[in-house]
Amino acid sequence: MSYAWNSASTRMYRPLLQPDLKLMLAEDDRFGLQQFCEVLNPVIVAEVLQGLDPQSVWRVLASTDIETQAQILEMIEPSQQIELVASIDRQHLSKIIEVMAPDDRVDLLEHMDEEQLESLMPLIAQAERDEIRKLLSYPEDSAGALMTTEYASLPEEISIGEALSRLRQQAPNRETIYYVFVVDTGRRLHGVISLRELIMARPASRLADVMKRDLVSVSVQDNQDDAAKLIARFDLIALPVLDEESRLVGIITHDDILDIVQEEANKDAYLQAGINPLEHSYFSTPLLTIASKRGVWLLFLSMMALVTASVISLLSSQTQSGQTNEPHPSDLHQQLAWFLPLVLASGGNTGSQSATLVIRAMALATMSRRDKYRLAVRELLTGLVLGLGLGLFNWIALQALFGLSPLHAGVVSLTIVMVVTVGSVVGSILPLLFDHLGMDPAIMSNPLIASLSDLFGVFIYYKAATWVHH
Amino acid sequence: MSYAWNSASTRMYRPLLQPDLKLMLAEDDRFGLQQFCEVLNPVIVAEVLQGLDPQSVWRVLASTDIETQAQILEMIEPSQQIELVASIDRQHLSKIIEVMAPDDRVDLLEHMDEEQLESLMPLIAQAERDEIRKLLSYPEDSAGALMTTEYASLPEEISIGEALSRLRQQAPNRETIYYVFVVDTGRRLHGVISLRELIMARPASRLADVMKRDLVSVSVQDNQDDAAKLIARFDLIALPVLDEESRLVGIITHDDILDIVQEEANKDAYLQAGINPLEHSYFSTPLLTIASKRGVWLLFLSMMALVTASVISLLSSQTQSGQTNEPHPSDLHQQLAWFLPLVLASGGNTGSQSATLVIRAMALATMSRRDKYRLAVRELLTGLVLGLGLGLFNWIALQALFGLSPLHAGVVSLTIVMVVTVGSVVGSILPLLFDHLGMDPAIMSNPLIASLSDLFGVFIYYKAATWVHH
């Protein structure tokens, strides 16, 4: 990858260029489309294509050669890639896949369903097919699944001059040539030399005398996280990956690690807020998928809060046994306290989830005003879905486990519906507001959202109880 | 940076090599010490030196030349760097600082106090001094403060052959030569060419004909975060930094961005859990500093919970006004519910803070068993400090604001001390336990820690109340 496009900031190109592109499509301006594909950086092309229907994207891509199509497809995000591969004939797709970078191609194929994959594989050339099957066989989080097989390698007995001329021939098809791996005929790794050291060394020296022999590597089976730690610790551009017999089979490059570090940070942040990690970005994950990834945890936490409620119901009757009579189970005021932690946790937890999703979504991408609006609407809807689900669950549980009347269980459940919905909206809007004001959205911390939600929650809860009581 | 040292994993070298090193120091084995400094990768040398007293570190470093000393010092973490610079004569220190990489040197000087800095600066050579003053003048989070001034640059009118031979001369003193920036005599940036493109181009071509003219850059004043976003988006090895007059003044390299992305992820995670971001790593931050960075938020959240308590006290008296008399303020059972959110939030918030600190500390470093033990003890102590602080604050607040008796306020406050301490311990031990069992520690999410803390909290709270009542 190298530079292209003049940009002093991280502004988005889509709003700027998509209208032009649509005009070119409407006018069937083939030359314009070709220029669009070939002059701009593939990263930017992919960004501008975002949100376009698959047929239009393929019309744009058809204006250029197969290599450029592959480069652009590599940069398109997974959910749109899947749409695209489903709407093109397999013959053409197999040609593109053959010229894609091995690591990007495996990423794409991993996202396709079994059936699609099996109908596509026979069309791909034998050599690429074998390599794909091999890379697909590595576990999802392993170094093997992340590596590319396009590394630069040389034998150790040649001279520096010879090495440089051989490297020139390899260069076009290699992910990086800045680290050159020195291997024997059995592909066993003997050393490494950087291109910087190569061009500084005397041309007559032997490679074996100049290369470094001690080196850092990972095994195909190692976790991607371990590879990230090594690259970060030693500031590497590429890390060699060895198979079980210590043969060099691939490299992991610095840019892939940046993605891994970000994904890990997202995964940790999601889990920390009780959200099962999303596989794609927030916006390319369907609303109901997000709701289910949050819902399982909220449901589990509701069950924990019901245990807490039963502890309170048990202990609070002991506390006051000395002063008044045993509370009657229909005594609403008494019961309000039992379920207070349940109600408040529901709102606080949902709010924390929303805040985390918003803050992570803003962490490494710039959001347009439209994205922010869309986000708030999505969180409102997700909150409603989660609130209704949790409310219904608790309405049944409170009657079954605590013998509450449908009306009294309804007060608690309706409050849950409301605090969950409001929690979700407040949890997403406050960080957006802070960002808008130029402040760090992360200051709107989970406990702060939870405490605001608590305040709202007790208000609704006791108001609803008063209303039912009269 | 390049490879050195054979490692198939992220294991730590300190336990392995520090005993040998201490033996060499005891025996004054100068040759052994020199080998240690010069054969191993500076990253590993710095790691092994960690925890050694400053005098011993300087004795080790004295065995090698000033350049190697600088390289090792660059890799030592900030808190130990500060110890080291305080215990060496300024004359020697100024020599080391002159040969350090400009970005690492500024990082070090930024951490020194004003007085130290002013006594050191006159000893540094004029050229380096001017550069240091310039880099120090950029705001802390700006691209200018992160960049290095050691980039490779060439004029555009020369041939590729000439470019390669000039680059060979620049190479030893440049952070990277993989991107070469093409500038005019006014240092205005005209284009960029990668070393890969350089060695693939015909030697007779003119640089101006081969270089790319569209390029991505940031301004010295831009946020480091923006630089990170650009490097991540375009998979760059280096990003040029321009001053206000669009002159090239430095570059930001891919490895610095990895640090920024991690720091940002940590900062977000800390803030999300209500912890003001730490400047150094968890272990090199004093316990009381951590306690204060957590305490301010806990105190603020306590105040919010007191507002919630007053809302409950107000509304719950309305709820039951129909059925019984107004509750008397000394009615303990009644008041328990008012302060339930306060008590539970104190435990939950502290537990979330601890879990977040532990999970982030494990996210990009491998922890030894000793580190884990130390962490648990630190969290117990921090929990006690925070618990006592919050307990005392609330004991006074409950009497002053709600008219509670010292005994009844004591029940609430004592429960707070206990849930905060237990929350801190549980919040740190459960992620460590999950990690130990080979599971993802982040599954021990903040809401899960909070719900466990709730369960424990209500138990203690109502038990204490029962005990006081009898």
Q: Which of B5, B214, B443 sits opposite A6 (nearest CB)?
A: B214
CB contact, 8 Å: B412 with chain A?
no
HEC string of chain B?
A: CCCCCCECCCCCCHHHHHHHHHHHHHCCCHHHHHHHHHHCCHHHHHHHHCCCCHHHHHHHHCCCCHHHHHHHHHHCCHHHHHHHHHCCCHHHHHHHHHHCCHHHHHHHHHHCCHHHHHHHHHHCCHHHHHHHHHHHCCCCCEHHHHCECCEEEECCCCEHHHHHHHHHHHHHHCCEEEEEEEECCCCEEEEEEEHHHHHHCCCCCEHHHHCECCCECEECCCEHHHHHHHHHHHCCCEEEEECCCCEEEEEEEHHHHHHHHHHHHHHHHHHHCCCCCCCCCCCCCCHHHHHHHHHHHHHHHHHHHHHHHHHHHHHHHHHHCCCCCCCCCCCHHHHHHHHHHHHHHHHHHHHHHHHHHHHHHHHCCCCCHHHHHHHHHHHHHHHHHHHHHHHHHHHHHHHHHHCCCHHHHHHHHHHHHHHHHHHHHHHHHHHHHHHHCCCCHHHCCHHHHHHHHHHHHHHHHHHHHHHHHC
Task: Name the 3-class secondary structure at A141.
Answer: coil
CA-based nearest distance B87→chain A, Å: 27
CA distance A237 to A193: 12
B-chain CB neighbours of A445 within 8 Å are: 271-274, 297
* CATH of B14-137 among 1.10.1030.10, 3.30.930.10, 1.25.60.10, 1.20.58.340: 1.25.60.10
Longest dimension (CA), chain A: 100
Q: Tell how far CA A324 is from the center of its chain.
A: 56
- Report residue A440's pLDDT band, with 50, 70 and 90 as the boundaries: confident
A-chain CB neighbours of B456 within 8 Å are: none
Most confident of A56-60, A323-327, B133-137: A56-60
Residue A52 φ/ψ, nearest 5 degrees: -75, 150
Range list for CATH 1.10.357.20 in chain B: 273-469
User: Per the CB < 8 Å rule, is A43 touching B219?
Assistant: no
User: Per the CB < 8 Å rule, is B269 touching A265?
Assistant: yes
Interface test with B, best of A6, A263, A445, A468 (most B CBs within 10 A): A445
Class for domain B273-469, per CATH?
mainly alpha
- Report residue A114's pLDDT band, with 50, 70 and 90 as the boundaries: confident
Q: Which of B8, B259, B333 sits opposite A316 (nearest CB)?
A: B333
Q: Which of B10, B271, B344 sits opposite A445 (nearest CB)?
A: B271
**Model confidence pLDDT, tens digit, residues B412-452:** 999 999 999 999 999 999 999 988 888 888 888 889 999 99
The closest alpha carbon to B222, from B196, B240, B236, B204, belongs to B240
Share of chain A above pLDDT 70, in %: 93
CB contact, 8 Å: A141 with chain B?
no
Residue B183 φ/ψ, nearest 5 degrees: -130, 160
**Model confidence pLDDT, tens digit, residues A341-374:** 999 999 999 999 999 999 888 876 667 788 888 9
Range list for CATH 3.10.580.10 in chain A: 151-254
Rg (CA), chain A: 29
Range list for CATH 1.25.60.10 in chain B: 14-137
Helix (H) or strand (E) holding A177: strand A176-183
**Model confidence pLDDT, tens digit, residues B345-394:** 999 999 999 999 998 888 766 677 888 889 999 999 999 999 999 999 99
Q: Mean pLDDT across the stretch B259-274? A: 86
Give residue B398's pLDDT. 94
CB contact, 8 Å: B322 with chain A?
yes
Place of tokens 């030349």: B65
Give residue A261's pLDDT. 84
Mention every residue, 6+ apart, whose C-beta is less than 8 A from residue B178.
A178, A195, A196, A237, B194, B195, B196, B237, B238
Sheet (strand A176-183) strand order: A151-154, A176-183, A189-194
Rounded to the nearest integer, the mean pLDDT of chain A is: 87
**Model confidence pLDDT, tens digit, residues A187-215:** 999 999 999 999 999 999 999 999 988 78
- Report residue A318's pLDDT band, with 50, 70 and 90 as the boundaries: low
Contact yes or no for A274/A301 (Cβ under 8 A) = yes
User: Per the CB < 8 Å rule, is A271 touching B443?
Assistant: yes
User: Per the CB < 8 Å rule, is A195 touching B172?
Assistant: no
User: Per the CB < 8 Å rule, is A212 touching B470?
Assistant: no
User: Per the CB < 8 Å rule, is A254 touching B259?
Assistant: no
**Model confidence pLDDT, tens digit, residues B61-112:** 999 999 999 999 999 988 889 889 988 988 999 999 999 988 888 888 888 8
Q: Which of A8, A192, A450 sits opposite B3 (nearest CB)?
A: A192
CB contact, 8 Å: A202 with chain B?
no
Q: Which of B178, B322, B458 sits opposite A312 (nearest CB)?
A: B458
**Model confidence pLDDT, tens digit, residues A4-35:** 333 333 456 777 888 889 999 999 999 999 99
Does the pLDDT value for residue A468 go beyond 50?
yes
B-chain CB neighbours of A179 within 8 Å are: 2
**Nearest-Cα residue of chain B relative to residue A452:** B304
Q: Which of A212, A446, A462 sits opposite B316 (nearest CB)?
A: A462
Does the pLDDT value for residue A123 go beyond 90?
no
Q: Which of B43, B271, B304 sits opposite A451 (nearest CB)?
A: B304
Report CA torsion sign: A330, A336, A338, A343: positive
- Report residue B322's pLDDT band, with 50, 70 and 90 as the boundaries: very low
**Model confidence pLDDT, tens digit, residues A253-262:** 998 888 888 8
CA distance B103 to B72: 14
Chain B 72-91, CB below 8 Å of chain A: which residues? none
**Model confidence pLDDT, tens digit, residues A134-188:** 888 898 889 999 999 999 999 999 999 999 999 999 988 888 999 999 999 999 9
Q: Which residue has the higher pLDDT, A400 or B8?
A: A400
The closest alpha carbon to A213, from B405, B5, B252, belongs to B5
Q: Which of B300, B333, B452 sits opposite A319 (nearest CB)?
A: B333
CB contact, 8 Å: B212 with chain A?
yes
**Model confidence pLDDT, tens digit, residues A216-227:** 999 999 999 889
Give residue B318's pLDDT. 65
CB contact, 8 Å: B296 with chain A?
no
User: Per the CB < 8 Å rule, is A199 touching B462?
Assistant: no
Range list for CATH 1.25.60.10 in chain A: 14-136
CA distance A237 to A253: 6
Contact yes or no for A163/A198 (Cβ under 8 A) = yes
CA distance B179 to B157: 17
Tokens representing residue A16 in the block: 């700027």
CA-based nearest distance B305→chain A, Å: 7
Amino acid in the structure at residue B258: L
CA-based nearest distance A89→chain B, Å: 30
CB contact, 8 Å: B451 with chain A?
yes
The whole-model pTM stands at 0.77
CA distance A85 to A450: 43
CA distance B394 to B414: 10
Interface test with B, best of A333, A353, A440, A461 (most B CBs within 10 A): A333
CATH code assigned to A151-254: 3.10.580.10
Query: What is the CATH topology of the domain spanning A14-136?
Result: MgtE N-terminal fold (1.25.60)
